[in-house]
A and B are shown apart, each in its own frame.
Chain A
Amino acid sequence: MTDLLRIADREFRSRLLLGTGKFPSLPVMRDALDASGTEIVTVTLRRIDLDSPEPNLLEFVDRDRYLLLPNTSGAEDADDAVRLARLARAAGLSDWVKLEVTPDPRWLLPDPVETLAAAERLVKEGFTVLPYIGADPVLAKRLQEVGCATVMPLGAPIGSNRGLKTRDSIAIILEQAEVPVVVDAGLGAPSHAAEAMEMGADCVLVNTAISVARDPVEMARAFRLGVEAGRAAWRAGRAPERAVGEGAEASSPLTGFLRGTA
């Protein structure tokens, strides 16, 4: 049985989404995308610097192979985010959008109030919306209710590489989710990605952990394996842990009352 990731009306074989930021060069980025096996790649819209033209990102991303997922990075409120999403769509990039509203420049933590407001507007305008959020289960439910295609809770602050610090909240989100859950931000090592996948996350999004590694291409391959291992483990149903030490003391029998009944 093939194990496909289904987001909105599309299916993907890879469960690793990649961000394109901070790679040492565009050719390295291209090779890392290739090694990761990813099928969804995020990009950002920025004003063109008319004084010093840069090489073109899109020449290094094969659009037949990767779904471009424009994000609204830089948006500080819902209006900004909607504007950026519309621009991306008008430019023919995509009507999928990774919604990010991060007024806090220090930690780039998402603003839940503005994110929900923007999500509602974008869904109404026909966008496929993938919102980046703090690991808040209630917010995740609210975003599903307004029609988001996924929720993307953070594992730790973006770029921190600290792993699944929000593990317990993500477990609740996973238990309740009716749309795919993408663990985004904070995953610093393939083992973190594997941990998220073992818990039942549908996919993960990784950027800095790959792009700033000493060898980004090799790290991209490592994340691919981490995600695949975690997913396989989830599907296989891992064996339970056993208490060590005092363990669970057996309490008095609870089913004795059934003797003597039918």
Chain B
Amino acid sequence: MTGFGEELAALPMEELLRVATEAAPDTVERALAREPLDLFDFAALLSPEAGRRLEDLAQRAHALTVQRFGKTVQLYAPLYVSNECVETCTYCAFSRTNPIARKTLTPEQAVAEARLLRARGFRHLLIVSGEHPRHVSPEYLGTILRALAAETPSLSVEVQPQTEEIYREWTAAGAEGLVVYQETYDRDTYARVHLAGKKKDFDWRLATPDRGAAGGMKRLGIGALFGLSDWRQEALRLAAHARYLVRRYWRCFVTVSFPRLRPAEYADTLARHPLADADLARLVCAFRLLLPDVGVVLSTREPAQLRDGLVRLGVTQMSAGSRTEPGGYSAPEVPTGRQFEVSDERTAGEVARTIRELGFDPVWKDWEAALRG
């Protein structure tokens, strides 16, 4: 069977983009009512015409979300274990040449952070790090996972892409989920923002979820960093990728995310192709219609008011009270470099309260391997 690389190359992008930019009212109307939708219906939902139908889109997306997920939002926290990185990504503060204060947590420090998060209610942690083969080696992350697994019911990783064998070791160590964002699905843009290092290899990164699934990961998270390239093209390719993963790895739970560029120290975070709030909302809805069972993840990159509004449209997982530097929850005396500036600065408790006020149930833990935890 072919991988997503072939499917990506074979996407009829020209025709899809034509629909995504020129769809007539009838086409949008039809896409809104179809079940299931295909990629062309999805494209129609990205069109300017569909922008005028946002409320209708939202009503459909809301109904589908409640039907498939109930009125729940799962809360998770990122746990940054290291900001060491050998890559050169123009949009990221951790990028190799940036003079930020570097730090890699010891397993004991990581456990201390996890305990603070547990005290705040979190049961689902996302281990995040820069990409550094020595400071953040597979063995190091395996040790971290084993140390955290004893006390954390649900662990995911968002770290350097690895081989299937290493993923198998990590799942044995307690990891259940793998998050890897392609950043951009446009090869030219990808080459422009990834200047050096292993990360330049677009295809190796693209096939990472496949290796993760083969290595036993139960949850696969993908996404694109919006602002780098045309948002309609990114959304179409991201949707195709998510749909591919859902079909191929039917035992896995797939999530998508639409992070937008945020200010970051020393980084170039000017959005050349900005994604407006209303268009972000539209993406949440359009993905829900195309892939009713796919989780939609929203981080603290987005402002509070927007996050609250998006809950009812289709977001199923949210981080809260996040720190984006290693050791950030323990509030060290010596500050270390953050990956980006968060926008929603409320505490986890405040976010949970707001979710409840919206009529949803904040869920700290809703997934756990049988007989574990």
- Which A residues fall within an 8 A CB radius of B? 138, 141, 171, 175-178, 237, 239-241, 250-251, 253-258, 260-262
* Distance from A178 Cβ to chain B, minimum over Cβ atoms (Å): 5
Q: Within 8 Å of chain A (Cβ to Cβ): is B1?
A: yes
Q: Tell me if B277 and A255 are in contact (CB < 8 A).
A: no
Given the contacts A239-B30, A240-B30, A261-B277, A254 and B247 also touching, CB distance less than 8 Å: no
Q: Which residues of the other chain, A, contact B308 by a CB distance below 8 angstroms?
A: 257
Q: Tell me if B306 and A257 are in contact (CB < 8 A).
A: yes
Given the contacts A141-B250, A175-B36, A176-B246, A254 and B62 also touching, CB distance less than 8 Å: yes
Q: Tell me if A255 and B58 are in contact (CB < 8 A).
A: yes
Given the contacts A175-B36, A178-B248, A262-B277, A257 and B30 also touching, CB distance less than 8 Å: no
Interface of A is mostly: loop
Given the contacts A254-B59, A254-B312, A254-B313, A237 and B34 also touching, CB distance less than 8 Å: yes
Q: Which residues of the other chain, A, contact B313 by a CB distance below 8 angstroms?
A: 254-255
Q: Which residues of the other chain, A, contact B41 by a CB distance below 8 angstroms?
A: 237
Given the contacts A141-B250, A255-B281, A241 and B33 also touching, CB distance less than 8 Å: yes
Q: Tell me if B55 and A253 are in contact (CB < 8 A).
A: yes
Other 16 A-B pairs with CB < 8 A, given A237-B34, A261-B306: A175-B36, A176-B246, A240-B30, A240-B33, A251-B59, A254-B58, A254-B62, A254-B309, A254-B312, A255-B54, A255-B55, A257-B309, A258-B54, A261-B277, A261-B278, A262-B277
Listed by A's residue number, 10 A-B pairs whose Cβ atoms lie within 8 Å are A177-B247, A178-B248, A250-B59, A251-B59, A251-B62, A254-B312, A255-B58, A257-B308, A261-B277, A262-B277
Q: Tell me if B58 and A176 are in contact (CB < 8 A).
A: no
3 closest Cβ pairs, A-B complex:
A240-B33, A257-B309, A254-B58
Q: Tell me if A255 and B247 are in contact (CB < 8 A).
A: no
The 8 Å CB contact of B278, one of A175, A251, A258, is: A258
Q: Which residues of the other chain, B, contact A256 by a CB distance below 8 angstroms?
A: 309
Q: Can you name the residue of chain A whose Cβ is closest to the Cβ of B277?
A: A261
* Distance from A75 Cβ to chain B, minimum over Cβ atoms (Å): 27
The 8 Å CB contact of A178, one of B29, B32, B247, is: B247
* Distance from B207 Cβ to chain A, minimum over Cβ atoms (Å): 16
Of the listed residues A241, A254, A260, the one surrounded by the most CB atoms of chain B closer than 10 A to its CB is A254
Q: Which residues of the other chain, A, contact B278 by a CB distance below 8 angstroms?
A: 255, 258, 261
Q: Tell me if B305 and A257 are in contact (CB < 8 A).
A: yes
* Distance from A144 Cβ to chain B, minimum over Cβ atoms (Å): 8
Given the contacts A141-B250, A176-B250, A240-B30, A262 and B59 also touching, CB distance less than 8 Å: no
Q: Which residues of the other chain, A, contact B13 by a CB distance below 8 angstroms?
A: none
Q: Which residues of the other chain, B, contact A250 by a CB distance below 8 angstroms?
A: 59
Q: Tell me if B36 and A258 are in contact (CB < 8 A).
A: no
Q: Which residues of the other chain, B, contact A141 by a CB distance below 8 angstroms?
A: 250
Q: Which residues of the other chain, B, contact A176 by a CB distance below 8 angstroms?
A: 246-247, 250
Given the contacts A240-B34, A255-B55, A178 and B309 also touching, CB distance less than 8 Å: no
Q: Can you name the residue of chain B whose Cβ is closest to the Cβ of A142?
A: B250
Q: Give bound CA distance, A239 to B277, whole Å.
A: 30
Q: Which residues of the other chain, A, contact B250 by a CB distance below 8 angstroms?
A: 138, 141, 176
Q: Which residues of the other chain, B, contact A254 by a CB distance below 8 angstroms?
A: 55, 58-59, 62, 309, 312-313
Q: Bits for B44-65, please: 1 = Cβ < 8 Å to A, else 0.
A: 0000000000110011001000
* Distance from B249 Cβ to chain A, minimum over Cβ atoms (Å): 10
Q: Bits for B306-324, please: 1 = Cβ < 8 Å to A, else 0.
A: 1011001100000000000
Q: Give bound CA distance, A260 to B304, whole Å.
A: 13
Q: Give bound CA distance, A126 to B276, whole Å.
A: 53
Q: Give bound CA distance, A261 to B312, whole Å.
A: 17
* Distance from A128 Cβ to chain B, minimum over Cβ atoms (Å): 15
Q: Can you name the residue of chain A whose Cβ is closest to the Cβ of B312?
A: A254
Q: Give bound CA distance, A176 to B278, whole Å.
A: 31
Q: Which residues of the other chain, B, contact A251 by a CB distance below 8 angstroms?
A: 59, 62
Q: Which residues of the other chain, B, contact A138 by a CB distance below 8 angstroms?
A: 250
Q: Which residues of the other chain, A, contact B36 by a CB distance below 8 angstroms?
A: 171, 175
Q: Which residues of the other chain, B, contact A261 by a CB distance below 8 angstroms?
A: 277-278, 303, 305-306
